Structures are given as structure tokens and as C-alpha cells.
Structure 1
Amino acid sequence: MYRPISCEITMHVAPEQERQMHRSGSILAGMALALLLATPATAADGDALNEVDELLTSAAEQRNVSKEAFMASLVAEDRFDPDQNVFLPSTLAVDFTEASPSVTLPVYEGIGPTGEPTYYIITEAADYEVAEMMGLNFAPKLVNGRDTGGSQEVTIEDGKLKFKGDVDFSPVRSVEPGPFPDTFPPATAQPGSVGDAEYSPLAVLPSGLVLNAIIIANSTGGHDNMLSIDHEKGTVVFKLLDGFQGGDQY
């Protein structure tokens, strides 16, 4: 049986060394404070909250319900049992049928680069208050995408997001395995939907608020895993895909 050994170490420091240590500690504390102050804030300001209010008001009008009723539908806590592990609060329904599982999410109408309707879902927000209001996952690191080639700046027109980039959903996804037994690489591989050079789901609003706003349908078609979309109800149904972690299927 092993017993933990404890000991006390006493350091004897000369007065000058002690002063230098105090000065070093003060410098390090100052550097830590400067880094803390330089970190982008994720608390929603008035402009960001006004933008969210515009989006929610417009979405409620499209559904012909009050804004309050729509917001309540995004954050209802009694739709799923805890053991079902549904982690996106705004999820409206999940079909757990093993043969064909699917998920129903709220869909928002936006405006494409040329002015035509485009439809998108929102899954994450960089701001905690916004995430709570809209039933989204809180992802503060999304702010690191600002002012980079990995995001797109969007505007708001008539309560709708207007995107600079868009997605072409017309290509048909196709994968044919290579000859057995060397099935990889595939004999043919054609990707499905393709975003243009301006498109990114990382949408930066004029206030600096960052949302993960994924375009899922427009005049060219719909997302490869989209099963149906109801414009009047403002809902979209997606096929759920299997995932694995630690050997367990999810």
C-alpha cells in the first residue's frame, strides 16, 4: 500500500530578489488584465438586441403568430426527455424511428445576393443572451471569425438577413465505391450543394453579433439532407445522420 508523502519547502530569498519577484508579479498581473480587456466581449449591446428583435418580429409575422408566442416556441423545455439528449433548445421535434430518424427545426426567410428569397436555420450564437432568447447553442469563439475570410458580413432589410454569398443546390451528390476490395478511393465522387466564394454560414451582423446561419434552400433547390420545408409554418425537416463517439452510436 502506498501512502502519499507530503513535505513543506521553505524558500529563503534575498531582499533584492524579493523586490524583483514582486515587480515581476505586478507585470504579469498587468499583462493578464490587458489580455482580459482585449478579449472580445460577448455581451449583447443595444444594437445587437435590436437586430435580434427585428429578426424575431419578422419571423413571427411570417408564421402569423405573435412575437411572444414564437419566442416561447424556441425555448420550450418540456418537448424532450433528458435522456433523449436533444441539445439544441429550438429543436421542434425529433423522429427517433431507427430506420429514418429526422429532426424538425425553425427556418427563417432571408434575402439572397440578387434579392430572391433564401431560407436558413440558426444553430449557434456568439452572445449568451441572444442564444438564450433564440434557443441556440452558445458558442463565444464564433467571434474569432470576424474580419476573416471565414465569415460573411450580412445586413438586415425588412427584418430579414440579406446575404452576400449563396449556395447552389442544383448539383446532385453521388458517390460510387471503387472496385472491391479496394473500394476507396471511390470510382466517382460528385459533391452536392456548393457555396460560392462569398458564402459562409458564419454571419456577422452590422452590430458585430455573430450567428451560425446556414442557408438550406433557395431557387436552386434544397440541402442534400432536407426532407421537407413548410414555408407557412416556418419549419424544415432534416434527415438525421449517425455519429459515433468512443465506439458508441449517436
Structure 2
Amino acid sequence: MAYALRWLQSFVFMMCVYGWMAVIGIGCFPLALVSRKGARWVCRSYCRGVIWMAGWMVGIRTEVRGTPPQDEVMVAAKHQSFFDILMIFAALPSAKFIMKRELLWTPIIGVYGLRIGCVPVNRGKKGAAIYKMVEDVKKGTAQPGQLVIYPQGTRVAAGVKAPFKVGTAVLYGQLQQDCVPVATNVGVFWPRNGFYRKPGLAIIEFLPRIEQGLSKSQFLERLEDEVETASDALMREVGFDPDAVR
């Protein structure tokens, strides 16, 4: 009975999440079209609204640890569910994401993604898209901010191991920017699939930055070790044993 009630609460919550996206996304669409700052304000309002609803509707409290960067850096984050995207965006002053090109055709998300400076990439052609973005940054035509990339390339369930892809190391070298790793335990409470949500403390943690100067292999090894170690610690802190999944 308790599980059924929790599932029903989760379902209602997710309907509110999608409903809020439609209401604010469509209602504020004119503002987003005329102002990039307006588009960012709409996206941040959406994220904060979902975070607020998660707290009282399904008992997911949130905490941001570490110091979110304010300068132009690359942010390499652990990605466990849609919720960590919202938490990261709400925490950063000017976040923009590496996003799959298919998302451009997603209602609301596609338009707003472009307006806030996200970089759409084709599968298998990330190098070309990243090269163009680097060139745009040099020319001053790309929007400044914190470029968020997911080194594993997709959402990975809590406790599951997946390799960190070399594209992040390539971007680190091309951008010539510091990298700020981000760990999380969000997937324990908001899984990558399904509607069921569990109460608890969802955390994202901004780790000490990795400065420029490392080789690709050195950077990728350090990034994976720091993100995975910190994420495992956050999951254990809330009573989830990642080793039991592996």
C-alpha cells in the first residue's frame, strides 16, 4: 500500500513537472525570443520550480556543495537523471550544455536550448561541432558561460560503472579552459527511467577545478577518479551502496 501511494505521488509530481514546463515555456516564449537573458531567466525559473515541487511533493530535498564557478570554464558532470541537469543549471550563472541534435526538435526544450547557447551535436560528429564552437568562442560570437558536458555521454544509473569518453579530454585541450568536475547522488532518488521517486537528500557537489596543462590521458584519468570517488561517497552518505550494484 505504501509503495502504491508513493508511486501515485510520483506520477502526480511528474505530471506537474511536465505541466510546469508547458505553462512557463509557452507562456514566456515571447520573452525568450526577444531576449537571451529572458530565455535564461525562464529556464532558471523552471528549474527552481521543479526543485521546489520535488521537496514538498515527493520529499526530495536538495543541496549544492562546493563552489559553483562564476568564470568561463568547462563543467564535467556525473549524469544520473534529468534532475541533476536542473540542479546544475540553477546553481551556475550562465550554464550551457552539449546537447544531442535530436533535442532541437523537442517541443520547448529545443528552442530554449538554442537561446541559452547550448551546443547541438550529431552522434559521431561531436568533433566538428566542438571545433566550430571553439572557433565561435575565439571570434566572440558564442555566448560566454560555463559549458556543461557529461563525460559518460548519457545518463548512468546510480552505482553503475560506465567509461568516461575521450571527447571530454579533447574539449579540455581545445577550449584551453579549466575544468570543474561535478559529482552527484541524484539517481538514488530520481532514477534515469520510470516515474517512481524516493524521498531523501539529492546532492550535487562542485569539486576542485582541474587546471589546464594536463595531457588527455592524465586529465581523463584524474577526472574519472575524482568524479566517481566523490559520487560513490555521496551515494553512501544517503544509505545507498554502489558496490552492491556492480
Coarse TM-score class (shorter-chain normalised):
under 0.3
More RCO (CA 8 Å, sep 6+): 2
Higher strand share: 1
Looking at CA atoms only, which structure, 1 or 2, has the larger radius of gyration? Answer: 1
TM-score (normalised: structure 2): 0.24
TM-score (normalised: structure 1): 0.23
Higher helix share: 2
